[in-house]
A and B are shown apart, each in its own frame.
Chain A
Amino acid sequence: AQSVTQLDSHVSVSEGTPVLLRCNYSSSYSPSLFWYVQHPNKGLQLLLKYTSAATLVKGINGFEAEFKKSETSFHLTKPSAHMSDAAEYFCVVSSGGGADGLTFGKGTHLIIQP
């Protein structure tokens, strides 16, 4: 069995300050982990993915995430927030195989204050 917990349902930061979105996972296997972003009325866009290569993963738009097995965490960070980062972010864990192996977190709503 696997699960994913996004520790914050809402995060608010000021433009130009760092962003931290927290994700903890549970998996019986060596997991693959993803972060997706969803802007209003849009589908999910892949930000980055971890598949047992380098533990620090760089994604699009300046985002990165670090896989920490000892802490079962995969937190998403960005050094400097931009207004266009305002969106819903989903952490996803997979045990492999097909789409039924994906487990989505509940999402974190990121608010950027001007």
Chain B
Amino acid sequence: KAGVTQTPRYLIKTRGQQVTLSCSPISGHRSVSWYQQTPGQGLQFLFEYFSETQRNKGNFPGRFSGRQFSNSRSEMNVSTLELGDSALYLCASSLGTGGSHPDTQYFGPGTRLTVL
């Protein structure tokens, strides 16, 4: 079974631009989550989508948004880029069944975003 794929793997943008990142989950997984990883802050949860609806959201400004399509693929958009948005953006997929035990998150390789 193919793993989580993310495109593109690397991006260079300038301040003020916007960017869209894409994530394809493992087949059969309905939940897609996004994380930002930086050396200073570590891994931080951005948001989770399940069945095309945002189910949970982390503590990030409204410039960060996302969506999920009917085939469970997800995109993440960052508008008005700032230097501090430079990070590795990781996508993870899971079955999304939730409950008392958490679903196991399976991570993609990430998209390295550099903002100049």
The interface of chain A, by Cβ under 8 A from chain B, is 32, 34, 36, 41-46, 49, 51-52, 90, 94-102, 104-107
Contacts and interface: CB of A to CB of B under 8 A. Distances in A.
Given A95-B102, A98-B102, A104-B43, 4 more contacts: A90-B43, A96-B98, A98-B31, A106-B42
Given A94-B102, A99-B56, A45 B107 contact: yes
B102 A32 contact: yes
Contact of A99 (B42, B92, B99, B101): B92
B48 A100 contact: yes
Contacts of A46: 104-106
A101 B43 CA distance: 13
Interface residues of B, number: 31
Contacts, number: 72
Contact of B108 (A43, A101, A102, A106): A43
B64 interface: no
B98 A43 contact: no
Nearest to B92: A99
Interface string B69-98: 000000000000000000000101010101
A75 to B, nearest CB: 20
B58 interface: yes
A98 B98 contact: yes
A97 B103 CA distance: 7
